[in-house]
Amino acid sequence: MGCLSLLSTIFVLLFLLMVPINGKPRVPALFFFGDSTVDVGNNNYLPTFVKANYLPYGRDFVNHYPTGRFSNGKVISDFASEIFGFTSYQPAYLSLYIKGKNILNGANFASAGSGYHDSTAKLFHSLSLSQQLEHYKEYQKDLMKIAGRTDALSIINGALYMVGFGSGDILLNYYLNPLLRLVYTSDQFTDILVQNYVDFIQNLYAQGARKIAVKTLTAIGCLPAAITVFDSAYSNTCVVELNNVALSCNQKLNTTSVNLRKMLPGLNLALLDGYQPLYNLVTKPSQYGFTETRNGCFGTSFLEKTSTSFNNKNTFIKLCPNASKYVFWDALHLSETAVKFVASEMFSNAISLIP
């Protein structure tokens, strides 16, 4: 009954969020900055091996076509668009060769492989934090031309900005980069990440952002790739050390966010819990209708052990028929069904951002 009560509460909150005001979205636009959890195809246009523009990615998406989303279907940014009443998804900014009115509802600047630390993006030739911000500044100039200054400022100030970085910084950069671990302890490294987060929020604020939702780090120690690489026993339990670093970083983000609200007048900043929803799915899967938590639905030989983000179309060794029973789509990313659950839990907290 406890689980049913929890789910009922989530769906009630989602219903309240999804009801548009006078048939319009609850905010004039959405903007996304982050990594592969929210990227909808920007990496398709970059010289990076971190791509998802080939099947079976997108197998269960609209028209069953791979768009660059790291899932069998929708990612968090897609569910955010639906939750806030949009009838179309905010496009990948780099796909907007002919922008026009396509940019009025916002844009997605996220890039798989990115992070709060610019060295993370450099490893994967992704869009860094600073590059994503520069693209947003370019977007503002285009918006001013199309909508006029008054309407553009109204869109910019009234929009919801979603930020989601950090997990890749720790799992794919710090713990796989011996040089970083020689220079910094994990505590020192997360201090740097949080300072970069502060700088980024201040820069967004300076550009007119007033409603910002920040996704905290996920339970990175529960990702199949993390368990395989860092747990020599190949157990089915999460890697405690990795999860503890994520929790420590999340606590720092929380404390720092409180200070940011005090520093920046009119800033409405909410943290969205990206950790607990995934941890619940992995540790209590049957309560949520899942049966597989250790392996991804989609595997590619060695890459199933580390990352299935490489564009290698000829190394399939496994593809499950029904991804809805799998928490993970590949060794690093969630299935659409799991993403939907995580998004519903996360955005129930975002209602505080909407007047």
Output phi, psi for 21, to 5 deg.
Answer: -90, 115
Give the 3-state secondary structure of residue 163: strand
Q: CB within 8 A of 73, min separation 6: which ones?
A: 58, 59, 60, 61, 335, 336, 339
Which residues, 6 or more positions from 152, have their beta carbon under 8 angstroms from its beta carbon?
A: 140, 143, 144, 146
DSSP string of 306-321, one letter each residue? S---B--TT---EE-S
Tally Cβ neighbours within 10 Å of residue 178.
Answer: 9
Active site residue 199: no
Q: Does the active-site annotation cover 135?
A: no
For residues 75 and 39, the answer to whether their CB atoms sit within 8 Å is yes
State the CB neighbour count (10 A cutoff) for residue 235.
10
CA distances from 159 to 27, 36, 205 (A): 6, 22, 12
Upper half-sphere CA count for residue 178 (Cβ side, 13 Å): 0
How far is the C-alpha of 307 from the C-alpha of 146, rounded, in Å? 41
Catalytically annotated residue among 77, 330, 335, 344: 330
Residue in 36, 71, 111, 114 annotated catalytic? 36
> Can 333 be counted among the known catalytic residues?
yes
CA-to-CA distance for 141 and 158, rounded, in angstroms?
17
| Catalytic position from the list 35, 114, 257, 333 | 333
Long-range contacts of 131-135 (CB under 8 A, 24+ apart): 132/33, 133/33, 133/200, 133/203, 133/204, 133/207, 135/93, 135/94, 135/109
Which residues belong to the active site?
A: 36, 330, 333
